[in-house]
């Protein structure tokens, strides 16, 4: 029995090591396909972090491990440079304007960032206020305003007005993911497979099935 347990532990450890090596190998292989690696991703959710990990690149954006409600994200983008360079305060979730929704999502222990006493950010994958603050400030300093990729998905109380507002923003390289076709939205990429109740439910996994990411990153415009 004991020998079986030791053998199982050894196998599990080998599998874990193999997965780690494979990930490093795959990320290096993917990164070698890029002629542009000094880019900063601004994203309304964790998508940017997934892309950086896919290619084994340093996070060059503060929008990692967090999400915005749609209204907050559009306000953030409309004055991006001011927003990035502004001081951020971290508050408790019960003080958020979205406290009721956060409670429904069982996210009342999540730190909430506030910029200019107005724009709120949900630091979903951060355990403490200090961690959220430190990582936001550190990664904001790495942001490359000359090489931005700005992505928005139809989620977190997004409506058609938000989609139109995003489409009107003058960023050079934008990705707009929608749950369906809209008559007046020309640049949206429809993600029908991963939708629920009129919103995109998941855009951080399998996004290569609806977006040629390497071609997009390497190109001047999508």
Distant-in-sequence contacts of 21-24, Cβ < 8 A, 24+ apart: 24/56
What pLDDT was estimated at residue 221?
Answer: 59
Beta carbons of 217 and 38 less than 8 angstroms apart: no
What pTM value is reported for the model?
0.87
pLDDT band at 202 (very low <50, low <70, confident <90, very high): confident
Question: Burial of 76 by CB count in 10 Å (0-12 exposed, 13-18 middle, 19+ buried)?
Answer: buried
How confident is the model over 102-127, as pLDDT tens digits?
A: 999 999 999 999 999 999 999 999 99
Q: Which residues on neighbouring strands pair with residue 90, listed in sequence order? A: 113
How confident is the model over 142-182, as pLDDT tens digits?
A: 999 999 999 999 999 999 999 999 999 999 999 999 999 99
pLDDT band at 195 (very low <50, low <70, confident <90, very high): confident
Backbone angles phi, psi at 95, to 5 degrees: -90, -5
Question: Burial of 109 by CB count in 10 Å (0-12 exposed, 13-18 middle, 19+ buried)?
Answer: exposed
pLDDT surpassing 70 at residue 22: no
């Amino acid at each position: 029995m004991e020998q079986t347990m030791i053998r199982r532990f050894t196998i599990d450890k080998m599998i874990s090591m193999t997965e780690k090596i494979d990930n490093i190998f795959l990320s290096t292989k993917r990164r070698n396909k890029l002629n542009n690696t000094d880019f900063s991703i601004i994203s309304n959710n964790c998508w940017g972090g997934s892309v950086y990990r896919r290619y084994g690149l340093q996070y060059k954006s503060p929008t990692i491990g967090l999400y915005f409600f749609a209204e907050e994200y559009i306000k953030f983008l409309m004055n991006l440079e001011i927003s990035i360079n502004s001081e951020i305060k971290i508050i408790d979730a019960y003080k958020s304007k979205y406290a009721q929704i956060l409670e429904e999502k069982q996210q009342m222990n999540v730190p909430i960032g506030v910029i200019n006493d107005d724009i709120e950010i949900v630091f979903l994958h951060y355990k403490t206020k200090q961690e959220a603050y430190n990582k936001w400030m550190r990664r904001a300093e790495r942001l490359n305003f000359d090489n931005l990729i700005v992505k928005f998905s139809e989620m977190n109380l997004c409506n058609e007005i938000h989609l139109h507002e995003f489409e009107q923003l003058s960023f050079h390289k934008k990705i707009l993911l929608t749950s369906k076709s809209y008559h007046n939205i020309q640049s949206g990429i429809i993600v029908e497979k991963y939708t629920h109740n009129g919103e995109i439910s998941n855009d951080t996994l399998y996004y290569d099935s609806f977006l040629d990411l390497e071609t997009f990153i390497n190109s001047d415009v999508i």
